[in-house]
Structure 1
């Protein structure tokens, strides 16, 4: 008989490591580490750009900043997730609960930020005359703070039993098990997935209809506008471009998150094999790496900011006043 390998050989209650070729383990480690570093680096560029340059201190960019902060921490979560590749958790039961708590908080904050972004674009496109009055920097900051506070409250409610005694649901030493009842999973599924996705889809359908009508109106009157009118058209084009860019972010978010949520509720052992479940989990986390790439593709200001940051021109005095729009 082959000798089984334990996570902690000195303990009889240790978990058994699953048998997997070393090449597969190394490859998975490399891929997850690369995605983790890339996710953290790209989102750090977004955070520095919006925080440093004064021209980017707008309500919409404040929401993008909050989303980038969430995505930045996803990179750290991936590093901890990679520890479970060989089937063993080496850093204790308390860290297991802490990592899961951070995961829950970030997940809920990402969903909340997506809803706020959708509301922001809805008001900007569908009610542009009152946008500057209804959507102010201070109100956005309050909404972002409430989003993070609600995320913190949600994880306390869902993981309250696990927080009382970390590791109580582990069957052996070296395991990281977090128990959430089926009823809590179902309630969380509707409150933090079905409801937000419904709101996002409804708002963006309305934004799409209004944006198409505005684009047609601008094309039909483009030759008869005055100088003042041309400025209004430019402003409308800017809002439409922002709506399109953030619309892509929202669509990518739905594509990446939807399979993971359905898998989390389904019986993975009967409906999905381990490889499929692992792929959908990686897709779920990879969404945080895609958002900065979308900004780089659609936002010229992000490319300019990246150039200033990478070339260290950001260290010069007065760099925060640089014209990057």
Structure 2
């Protein structure tokens, strides 16, 4: 992407941005970003362990959360390499440079693709609740997740084929880490990785919001004259679906807030060189989304808090712990 190319060249030819900062400021930046990277990996690892270990959490929606946690965990790991690029040149070699960018593109796009699948899942659950158990099954969700990851890997490997076949092809000096995507490839990447997914997510959640409001009004009007355990159970189930839609809606909103600046800078920069600090900010904001997702789960989902407590206290190691009810 153009602004990333300009950023890399600026650091290599124009000198490290660290020279213009006080050592204490640079150290603070490193500590903060390193802490975010570590916490991102730890929190998402807890989600991975929780959903994988506890059998009662094996649901289609949680399978999508598991896919998102896996991609976020790897994105948190890749943030370490982004920290290297903030204040200095790349010193891990041309092959690692190519590997880093390929993995970065694949896993960030897989995270975006999973967001789309989550939106579809909530759309069906809220708008077509009677058809949800039939249309959204564990097997179908696993197939969709597999296709999402496969398509992301294939698309970005084709997009970065030159950097894969000839690492360091576009470098102009020692210590530079550059990948170049042609104009049409860049347009395809922006459309497939940003415009199309964001459009689908926004349209689906607008529809979910409209349906949720209408259903809330309907439940309030019916609850006065309705009695019976069956009705109460239906209302409780509907409230549970609404709560899940609200929680995942916050996840999607935070995702849009973190991702949009990255692509806005990309689209506006063209061939211009963007300052290292601006590029660093939007890139780190992009990565911070993977750190925020587990915090949202901890706030909205009691099962995640219970799982964290079980993991931290090592109760997960007890025999039969996988059958425990974490709800």
CA drift of 1:182 comes to 2.2
- Asked if 1:284 is matched to 2:268, the reply is no
C-alpha distance in 2 between matches for 1:208 and 1:107 = 27
1:1-325 equivalence runs, <5 A: 17-18=15-16, 19-21=19-21, 22-223=23-224, 224-267=226-269, 273-325=275-327
C-alpha distance in 2 between matches for 1:152 and 1:225 = 53
C-alpha distance in 2 between matches for 1:132 and 1:229 = 19
Unaligned runs of 5+ in 1: 1-13
Structure 1: 4+ residue segments shifted above 6 A: none
CA offsets per residue over residues 290-321 of structure 1, 9 Å max, x none?
A: 00000011111111111111111000000011
What is residue 8 of structure 1 aligned with on the other side? none
C-alpha distance in 2 between matches for 1:36 and 1:49 = 20
Deviates more, 1:101-110 or 1:180-189: 180-189
CA offsets per residue over residues 37-76 of structure 1, 9 Å max, x none?
A: 0100111111111111111100000000000000000111
Q: Is the 8 A contact 2:116 2:200 kept in 1?
A: yes
| Distance change >3 Å, CA 164–CA 270, structure 1 → 2 | closer
C-alpha distance in 2 between matches for 1:89 and 1:273 = 17
Unaligned runs of 5+ in 2: 1-11
Q: Is the 8 A contact 2:86 2:276 kept in 1?
A: no
Q: Is the 8 A contact 2:126 2:208 kept in 1?
A: yes
Q: Is the 8 A contact 2:119 2:204 kept in 1?
A: yes
CA drift of 1:16 comes to 7.3
CA drift of 1:271 comes to 8.3
| Distance change >3 Å, CA 156–CA 270, structure 1 → 2 | closer
TM-score, normalised to structure 1, is 0.92
C-alpha distance in 2 between matches for 1:39 and 1:207 = 29
C-alpha distance in 1 between matches for 2:52 and 2:169 = 42
TM-score, normalised to structure 2, is 0.92
CA drift of 1:272 comes to 5.1
Aligned residues: 312
